[in-house]
Amino acid sequence: MAGLFDIEGHLVFYRSYHFNPTNVAIHLVCIPIILLSIITILLPHDVIGLDNPYVNFGSLMAFGYGFYYILLDWTLGVPSFLFLSAYAYLVKSFYLTLDDSSILTQTQFINYAIVAHVGSWLAQFYGHGVHEKRAPALIDNLLQALVLAPFFVVYEIAFASGFKTDLQKTMNNKAGVLARDFKLKDAQKSK
C-alpha cells in the first residue's frame, strides 16, 4: 500500500489493475465523467452558514481534489486544480442563470449528471469484468478508486503527450510484476 503522498506507489498500484487497452480507454472516458458529474450534483448544496453561492459542497470537493493533487505532484496538480476549480465555478454560474422558465432546469441538468455518473460506473465494471478480467481497484483500495483515479487519467494524458516517460516506464514495470503475481495467485487458487 502506497503512502498518502507517494504518487509513484499510487500509480503502480492503479496501473496493476489497468493493463487491457479497452478497459483503460473506458476508464479514460468514464473517470472524468464520474468526478465531474458528482461535482455537478453537489454544486447546488451550499455550505450552511456561508452566504456565498460559490462556496458549496461541489466547489469544496473540486478544491479538495485539486489541492491534494498539487501535494502529490505540483506539475500536474496545478493544472488539475485550475481545471476542477474552473469547472465548479462555471457550472455554478450556469446554475445561477437557470429558472423555471429555462429550457433546461437545474433539476433536469442534475438528473442528466446522475445518469452519466451511474452509466460511467457500470461501464467501468463492464471493462474490468469483460476486458481486464480482474476486480476493480476499489475492492482493494477505496481511496485509489474515488480520489486518485482522476489523477491517474491526468498522468495517462501526460504520458501520451510525451511527459514523465521515465515515470511511466517505472510504473509499467513495477505494475507488471504486481499483475503477474496476481495472475499466478489466481491460477493457484483455481487448481
**Quick check: 31 and 136 in contact, CB under 8 A?**
no
Q: What percent of the chain shows pLDDT beyond 70?
A: 98
pLDDT of res. 1:
55
Cα–Cα distance measured from residue 3 to residue 7, given in angstroms and rounded to the nearest whole number: 8
Q: How confident is the model at residue 32 (pLDDT cuts 50, 70, 90)?
A: very high
Give CA separation, 49 vs 31, 41, 53, 77, in Å: 32, 20, 11, 30
**Quick check: 15 and 26 in contact, CB under 8 A?**
no
Instruction: Tell whether pTM > 0.75.
Output: yes
Cα–Cα distance measured from residue 84 to residue 91, given in angstroms and rounded to the nearest whole number: 11
N- to C-terminal Cα distance for the chain?
28
**Total Cβ atoms within 10 A of residue 131:** 16
The predicted-structure confidence for 84-126, as pLDDT tens digits, reads as follows 999 999 999 999 998 877 888 888 999 999 999 999 999 999 9
> Could you state, in order of their start, the residue ranges of all structural domains in the chain?
7-181
